[in-house]
Structure 1
């Protein structure tokens, strides 16, 4: 088995935010690994800490955010022969801007209009990073911007390069944002709900586009989403996040075909299913905890009908299920009673397997 080349390692990351209501412990002990050329998905409900974790990796946390502990190690090639490893949390903001942000790690946000400058033609916005990071001559940057626009599927690039963001459709604007993200040949692309605001056909085109570019460039991708349908299409590895913690982690097959955490059961059960006559959509009862208050025990316990007594007292560790798969639930403890996933979900997984894979 060939050895994987690790480019990003996040260990024991804790992040809190100072708010008028008090301190919110938004991220609690997150561990994450990304290898070269692979796609890692972080999935969970809104407010679970997915985007905050990504912003910490980019060094762009909001002013009221504090990293209380943890390590974020990033490895990249300074040139084809020389590989450098940096500890991002020990770098100054200016260093991160010059050496990491946009250059080696780039981010595609949910709403293209928040990433684009309304007063600048889109071509100039694609050129900006190349000129800033690499001092690329204007003419060369212009040519590369045209190439990137064609690469992301914008027809009539010569004409569109002079357009302002408001002159383009939502799908085109998102393509421009992807072109900007790719302009400096980053090694890691973080996509934060990159298709949420788009209609379904454009959504799948954007996902295919990112996958094509990934193959061409050996790019590593982190996908942040609440949509398991997207995860099934794009991910190699999946991290399920709940209340600031990763509660299940594994290959896409592990998590979709053999889910072990009751929260993952709930997420999978809540996906629309065309294979059944039941028109009702399952929803997980209750709502996530308020992270202004200290979480005692398992944060998911109040919403978990399979919760054990210990769940209200002690936080479960990550139990190893296989080499690639682990989950933080006391149900995996050797002394725990045997609890199987809901039969409707088991039937659904069998159907998914029969239909020939998850992607």
Structure 2
């Protein structure tokens, strides 16, 4: 089956002008997303996850500058296929053609996304009226349907509520309803469950998954929570210091990770069956991108670093058709290095659990 590409990012490079100098925040990102699929972008804070997606939304902050690359987005208008390079569109074109209409974004904290002075009904209807000139009565009907779709009971009454009258979980559901109001092709979720408690978190993730199945939209999650990734993603891209250092399908990243940084992220996940009495942390601090990166940016924190890591940046080595990692440990001449023993036993436990669940 031929899969259809919705988003294709090539050689994206972005820097920010700061009082301390130029920060090279994104350094040659390459990513693909297909229709109906979910991609999770993971990594520590400051690795470039949100900046990459803000570039795709055309909402980079004013001190940001795209140095090179392309972000090709494909959608349908009047049953005709349209392909645009988002970086070539003006701010006005982004607002009228893409934002909210074709690509919608759910932000971390619903309270900062919602207007406290407007009823939630008016906020859901706003996009439909602005983008599609939907008559008010029709927009009202669709807004009620959307609230029901995202699991809000007594939707008609809730239309008249203001954001402060709703709980955190309900506000996040409203934000999802607003994002879906114009039938976007792509939904970007930036840490959509961070501000919520665990039970509500699981419901919101299940809800997004369910909506994706019904509406056949593509979803990108930006998160540092690998527990979330395991529940929702088809594919995973691991970012470090403005680059993708490993990518693959969710099973490859969780059961057969190859980059030492991915080993570190997986080892740092809390696990009730671990024999360690301490939670693992990756040594050192993230790379300072004010400085020019020589070789592998992860090298100073990597206990498996080779001499070459300090001099030459590793290319993406192919492991399978879908699995790639940028580490010199995958070079045929490199010494054989196995993942940490504690992580190996954790993965074995995860595989055993997955086998039991499958049965």
Task: With the length of structure 1 as denominator, give the TM-score of the two structures.
Answer: 0.98
Q: Specify the alignment match of 1:307 in structure 2.
A: 305
Q: Specify the alignment match of 2:322 in structure 1.
A: 324
**Aligned-pair CA distance for 1:278:** 3.0
CA distance, structure 2, for counterparts of residue 100 and residue 158 of structure 1: 29
**Aligned-pair CA distance for 1:91:** 1.0
Q: Secondary structure at the match of 2:211?
A: helix
Q: Specify the alignment match of 1:156 in structure 2.
A: 154
Q: Specify the alignment match of 1:185 in structure 2.
A: 183
Q: Specify the alignment match of 2:144 in structure 1.
A: 146
Q: Secondary structure at the match of 1:356?
A: helix
How does 1:154-233 map onto structure 2 within 5 Å? 154-233=152-231
Task: With the length of structure 2 as denominator, give the TM-score of the two structures.
Answer: 0.98
Equivalent pairs, count: 357
Per-residue deviation, residues 165-192 of structure 1 (Å, max 9, x unmatched): 1111111111110000000000000000
Whether 2:61 is the aligned partner of 1:62: answer yes
Per-residue deviation, residues 199-239 of structure 1 (Å, max 9, x unmatched): 00000000000000000000100000000000000000000
CA distance, structure 2, for counterparts of residue 352 and residue 43 of structure 1: 19
CA distance, structure 1, for counterparts of residue 20 and residue 112 of structure 2: 27
Q: Secondary structure at the match of 1:355?
A: helix
Structure 1: tracts of 5 or more residues without a match? none
Q: Specify the alignment match of 1:75 in structure 2.
A: 74
**Aligned-pair CA distance for 1:114:** 1.3
After TM superposition, the structure 1 stretch with the greater mean CA deviation from structure 2, 188-197 or 279-288, is 279-288
Per-residue deviation, residues 119-173 of structure 1 (Å, max 9, x unmatched): 1001100000000000000000011111101111111111111111111111111
Structure 2: tracts of 5 or more residues without a match? none
CA distance, structure 1, for counterparts of residue 67 and residue 350 of structure 2: 41
CA distance, structure 2, for counterparts of residue 299 and residue 275 of structure 1: 32
CA distance, structure 1, for counterparts of residue 52 and residue 162 of structure 2: 32
Whether 2:50 is the aligned partner of 1:51: answer yes
CA distance, structure 2, for counterparts of residue 260 and residue 313 of structure 1: 21
- Alpha-carbon RMSD: 1.1
**Aligned-pair CA distance for 1:276:** 2.4
CA distance, structure 1, for counterparts of residue 26 and residue 139 of structure 2: 39
Following TM superposition, the consecutive aligned residue runs of length 4 or more in structure 1 with deviations greater than 3 angstroms are: none
Q: Specify the alignment match of 1:38 in structure 2.
A: 37
Q: Specify the alignment match of 1:92 in structure 2.
A: 90
